[in-house]
A and B are shown apart, each in its own frame.
Chain A
Amino acid sequence: MNQNNHDYVKKPLPPKFGTYGLGFAALGLILSILALVADPVRASFDSLIVFVFLIGMGMCSLFLIGLEYLTGAVWSVPFRRIAEYLVPLVFIAPIFAIPVFFNFSHVFQWANPEYLTLHKTVMAKTAFLNPQFFYIRITAIIVLVGLFSIVIIRNSAKQDNNSDQNLTKKNIRLSAGLMPIFGLGITLIGIDWIMSLEPLWFSTIFGVYYFAGSLLTAFAAITLIAIKLKSFGALPSWITKDHFYNLGAFLFAFINFWAYIAFSQFMLIWYANLPEETFWFLSRTQGSWLYISIGIIFIKFIIPYAGLLSQPSKSNINRLKYVGWWIIFAQFFDLYWLIMPTFSKSGAVFSWTELGFPLLGLGLVMILFKYSYTKRNLIPIGDPKLKRAMDFHL
């Protein structure tokens, strides 16, 4: 029944893992509730950061699964399950949208009637930017992407038992259908939840910007989890440096892709010098935001770029681990830079209130991972491409 001569043995996660996850989640929950009591608007912004972080990561993990099916990629087959474990974040992330829901008109200025009477331009955008349509959009994205994810992941899990090649064919067709929905969905999330915080501002490249950052995060998370699993021996021995080299190369490529998109957005706005576009960047040079803005260049581009530039470093497990954590941090930093200036215009603010929601998010990701890991195999043992993945060499 099972043609693949894999030597995969399911190994349980260390018992501490679940405890840590619960601990982080509990601590994060307490801190988040305290933050919500102390300053509900600020806490809503913090929660919004974690929402776009997690939903982007979840959706891009599904995108990577779809990409693997569509391109017939071989090297990524043993890592596909890790991405599958992360996809349910699409359903978990909306928890972080609840504080935003209760402070909606404080977070999104276009939902505030007083603001609308002052700004005729935004008034003209209300055909798109109104709360009802806003909720319809996000619900539609989550439901559609969620349906695709459920079917694709179920097919993939079924294959472990019967090694049916038709399931792969089905998933290829599903992935082709998923792509346009994913593209539209991630663009709309970027525009709705981040760009519309400044309803006067617009940038047509913003959806790609958010996609680039999210995909980078998904790659970093998959790399980190793979390295963690390898360190306690859950990955079979045939997963070599060559498999990790591909993860490193993709990380490096998408660091460059993000920088390219981010610079394109900045340079075109800087060069055209139109007041209705430049104010967004100008408001990010006020007070201490200037240092955050300059920091973005180093934190999200130059440091990880230099870290992965040389060829051996892309398969160096230790280096990949540090760069992975660094990119997770950089994505938070980037989202903080995108979202927080709307809340605090004069300068950057940071205190314990910002820590609660990321901790809760980390805890939830760990609990989700433990649940999915115990439920399903780490290696898709029935996948027809697994034999070639085992033989993969550079």
Chain B
Amino acid sequence: MENKKLHSVVGLFSTPDSIIHAAEKTIEKGYKHYDINTPYPVHGMDSAMKLKPSTMGYFALAFGLTGTAVALSFMYWVFNIAYPLNIGGKPNFPLPALIPITFELTVLFAAIGTVLSLLFVFFKMPDNSNPLHDTDYIKHCTSDMFGLCIEAEDKLFSEAEVKDFLAGLGATNIESIYYPKINTLPIFTKNFIIFLLCSAIVVSGAVYFVTNKLMFMTPYNWMLNQDRINAQAPSDFFKDGFGMRDAVEGTVPRDFIPEEFKASPDSAGTFLINPLEMTDAVLAKGEAKFKTFCSPCHGNYAKGDSRLRGLFPNPPTLHSKKVRNWPDGRIYHVITFGQNVMPSYAKQLSRDERWAVINYVRSLQRAFNPKEEDFNESK
């Protein structure tokens, strides 16, 4: 017992008034290193102990301002740099809309920061031991009595004198508290490691059971299995058994303009006028479309020499006098509605493309049946 190091001398009081009186007397006596332990905050204790205002507030202020800065700068980065997005015609940095979030983050940072600094700065967290732990004194202090503890660090401390002083104040259960043999408790004892292992197994088992058995949910595969019919697939739902449906009769596509002069190719020749000019761009477009859609039957130079080796009857040449004298509109009618074996190409070629093909055919015709002025020009 004698070789133990003395921590403090403690005494218990039974009423809040007596502990306030004791605190005042302790201050008067000149003790600096002492503490009061009470089961609840006693009103008037701060002034009795002549405590200075806590510096905790500065921590809260610093963390709160950090929260404000983080919220504002992060949202500035999101709204102006990372992903500038106009929401409802508001400015890109809509400050009034951001104030609630800034406020929340300020409070959150201040609260969490204050608690953490309380634990790690004021309570010196990793060191969780105190010689008062596990004494009768602290058991009373947390339930039914008020304790005064004068520490041995104090300059004026002497064990006998302090005991007399406490007895003079009317304290009961006066005793000396010694440091435990080992100052800091070892964490990795055998029992503790077994406890850690057991809890790890129990926790991971419970997590596995809860997430995989109790709360198991199929992954979201709504995109894979949809209630719809694939293209070309049959359907039991419709009478005709086809999954793919035609548009309702009389449906007109958007921007649809019906082709005119279906049954009267001659009026098409009279009234339709080629809207395109003979420019390089139009001819290039016409050439590309001609080679794709027309040349398989009409031949690369429109001479009627099909590449299809007689699978279809060969079409006539486009250099005949009849075709050369046709107006543009007449040829347009043939491309649009077809003629004899030739089907309609209205679906493959847009209106402008058809006119461009006609221009290209005209240039081919001119190349095979040049006019006098063409030679004169080249002289």
Residues of A within 8 A of B (CB): 263, 266-267, 270-271, 273, 309-312, 392-394
Contact = CB atoms under 8 A, between A and B. Distances in A.
Contacts of B44: 393-394
B57 interface: yes
Contacts, number: 28
B215 interface: no
A312 B53 contact: yes
B96 A270 contact: yes
Given A267-B97, A270-B96, A393-B43, 14 more contacts: A263-B96, A266-B96, A267-B99, A270-B97, A271-B90, A271-B97, A309-B61, A311-B57, A312-B53, A393-B44, A393-B47, A394-B43, A394-B44, A394-B46
Nearest to A240: B47
A267 B96 contact: yes
B56 to A, nearest CB: 9
B258 interface: no
Interface residues of B, number: 15
Contacts of A266: 96
Contacts of B96: 263, 266-267, 270-271
Contacts of B99: 263, 267
B43 A273 contact: no
A392 B47 CA distance: 12
A263 B100 CA distance: 10
Interface of B: 43-44, 46-47, 53-54, 57, 61, 88-90, 96-97, 99-100
Nearest to B44: A393
26 contacts: A263-B96, A263-B99, A266-B96, A267-B96, A267-B97, A267-B99, A267-B100, A270-B96, A270-B97, A271-B90, A271-B97, A273-B88, A273-B89, A309-B61, A310-B57, A311-B54, A311-B57, A312-B53, A392-B43, A393-B43, A393-B44, A393-B47, A394-B43, A394-B44, A394-B46, A394-B47
A236 to B, nearest CB: 18
Nearest to B47: A393
Contacts of B46: 394
Contacts of A267: 96-97, 99-100
A267 B61 CA distance: 26
B236 to A, nearest CB: 52
Contacts of B53: 311-312
B25 to A, nearest CB: 18
Contacts of B47: 393-394
A310 B54 CA distance: 11
Contacts of A311: 53-54, 57
Contacts of B43: 392-394
B262 to A, nearest CB: 55
Nearest to B88: A273
A80 B57 CA distance: 31
A165 B22 CA distance: 36
A292 B265 CA distance: 80
A104 to B, nearest CB: 36
A8 to B, nearest CB: 22
B117 to A, nearest CB: 16
A263 B47 CA distance: 38
B47 to A, nearest CB: 7
A300 to B, nearest CB: 16
A311 B100 CA distance: 25
A394 B89 CA distance: 51
Contacts of A309: 61
A259 to B, nearest CB: 10
Nearest to A267: B96
Contacts of B90: 271
A162 B310 CA distance: 130
A310 B88 CA distance: 40
B146 to A, nearest CB: 16
Contacts of A310: 57
B10 to A, nearest CB: 25
Contacts of A392: 43
A202 to B, nearest CB: 20
A394 B54 CA distance: 14
A393 B53 CA distance: 15
B207 to A, nearest CB: 42
B43 to A, nearest CB: 4
A26 B90 CA distance: 52
